[in-house]
């Protein structure tokens, strides 16, 4: 069996809270995510999803156990992951003093691409995401959906194999969010990316994931299920009911 892209091996994460003692955010968690899969991490607020996300991104070190991405430690080897891991946040995180194309070029600049090469790459992704003609617009001139499209273009432009998505559609209206969600999943499939999504929406988990991992506080796996396109309505409803039971318990 091939090496997983992401592996949590008996991971525990503790935080010290002054005057309150130790807070256990993740508890003895083991999880493997393989190449080309779309995993939805689903759970209530405070269940440890963001802590897991930050450990994959190399922003936090586990207290116990190991987290690896492509067999390497993302915290201790952070610089080695440039261009290999990209993040799409809940808010677009665009730099207001840069144009749309300038924002998409940020990651490409960090990778050392020549100006014309990164400009052409950024232009291609903006066009693919329906923003042709808006390359020179600044973020304040773009709608929320358009800004998030720029953010998605920025993530894909570096050709990272692993995409980390922190509720990237939750700040958008329902129609815009649904449209972007469908386009994003289509791109992930087309480009054969591995994607990890954080969500607290059961409906969104079904739409974006080919696997749903339900987490309970402190982050531990309560339910782990593959979502096949061949599932019939009754099977989907049974999975949905099980997820609701786990989240309600």
Q: What is the pLDDT of residues 25-69, one digit of tens each?
A: 999 999 999 999 999 999 888 788 889 999 999 999 999 999 999
pLDDT of residue 179: 86
With 80 as the cut, is the pLDDT of residue 92 above it?
Answer: yes
With 90 as the cut, is the pLDDT of residue 83 above it?
Answer: no
Distance of alpha carbon 222 from alpha carbon 224, whole angstroms:
7
With 90 as the cut, is the pLDDT of residue 225 above it?
Answer: yes
Do 171 and 73 reside in the same domain of the chain? Answer: yes
Do 142 and 170 reside in the same domain of the chain? Answer: no
Do 110 and 131 reside in the same domain of the chain? Answer: yes
pLDDT of residue 227: 92
Domain that holds residue 151: 88-157
Do 145 and 186 reside in the same domain of the chain? Answer: no
Do 78 and 166 reside in the same domain of the chain? Answer: yes
Dmax (CA) for the chain in angstroms is 55
CA proximity to 60, closest of 238, 219, 223, 226:
219
Q: Of 157, 180, 195, which one is at a domain's C-terminal end?
A: 157
C-alpha to C-alpha distances, 227 to 75, 112, 166, 178, 241, nearest whole angstrom: 31, 39, 20, 19, 14
> What's the average model confidence in pLDDT over 121-148?
92
Of 4-8, 90-94, 104-108, the least confident: 90-94
Structurally, the chain folds into a number of domains equal to: 2
Contact 117/80 with Cβ under 8 angstroms? no
With 90 as the cut, is the pLDDT of residue 12 above it?
Answer: yes
Do 188 and 75 reside in the same domain of the chain? Answer: yes
> What's the average model confidence in pLDDT over 121-133?
91
Do 44 and 94 reside in the same domain of the chain? Answer: no
DSSP string, the chain: -PPPSEEEEEEEEEEEETTTEEEEEEEEEEEEE-TT-EEEEE--TTSSHHHHHHHHTTSS--SEEEEEETTB-TTTTGGGGTTTEEEE-SS----TTS-HHHHHTHHHHHTT--HHHHHHHHHHHHHHTT-TT-TT--GGGS-HHHHHHHHHHHHHHTT-SEEEEESTTTTS-HHHHHHHHHHHHHHHHHHT-EEEEEES-HHHHHHH-SEEEEEETTBEEEEEEE--TT--HHHHHHHHHHHHHHHH-
Q: What is the pLDDT of residues 96-109, one digit of tens each?
A: 999 999 999 998 98
Q: Of 138, 157, 176, which one is at a domain's C-terminal end?
A: 157
DSSP string, 81-102: GTTTEEEE-SS----TTS-HHH
Q: Which residue has the higher pLDDT, 217 or 226?
A: 226
With 70 as the cut, is the pLDDT of residue 245 above it?
Answer: yes
175: CATH: 3.40.50.300
pLDDT of residue 170: 81
Q: What is the pLDDT of residues 142-200, one digit of tens each?
A: 998 899 999 999 999 999 999 999 888 887 788 888 888 888 889 899 889 999 999 98
Do 144 and 39 reside in the same domain of the chain? Answer: no
Neighbours of 228 (CB within 10 A): 10
Do 176 and 62 reside in the same domain of the chain? Answer: yes
Do 164 and 76 reside in the same domain of the chain? Answer: yes
Q: Of 135, 157, 179, which one is at a domain's C-terminal end?
A: 157
Do 141 and 210 reside in the same domain of the chain? Answer: no
pLDDT of residue 1: 62
Do 74 and 127 reside in the same domain of the chain? Answer: no
């Amino acid at each position: 069996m091939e090496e997983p892209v992401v592996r949590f091996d008996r991971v525990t994460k503790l935080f010290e809270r002054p005057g309150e003692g130790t807070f256990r955010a993740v508890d003895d968690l083991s999880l493997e995510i393989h190449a080309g899969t779309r995993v939805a991490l689903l759970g209530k607020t405070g269940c440890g999803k963001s802590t897991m996300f930050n450990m994959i991104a190399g922003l936090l070190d586990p207290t116990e156990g190991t987290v690896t991405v492509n067999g390497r430690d993302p915290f201790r080897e952070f610089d080695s992951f440039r261009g290999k891991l990209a993040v799409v946040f809940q808010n677009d995180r665009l730099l207001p003093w840069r144009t749309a194309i300038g924002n998409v070029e940020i990651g490409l600049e960090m990778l050392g691409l020549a100006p014309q090469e990164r400009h052409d790459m950024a232009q291609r992704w903006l066009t693919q995401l329906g923003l042709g003609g808006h390359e020179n617009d600044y973020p304040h001139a773009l709608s929320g959906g358009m800004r998030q499209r720029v953010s998605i273009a920025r993530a894909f432009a570096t050709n990272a194999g692993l995409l980390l998505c922190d509720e990237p559609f939750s700040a958008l209206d329902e129609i815009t969010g649904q449209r972007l969600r469908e386009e994003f999943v289509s791109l992930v499939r087309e480009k054969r990316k591995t994607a990890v999504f954080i969500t607290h929406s059961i409906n969104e988990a079904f739409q974006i994931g080919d696997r749903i991992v339900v987490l309970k506080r402190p982050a531990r796996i309560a339910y782990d299920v593959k979502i096949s396109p061949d599932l019939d309505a009754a099977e989907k409803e049974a999975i949905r009911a099980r997820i609701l039971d786990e989240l309600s318990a």
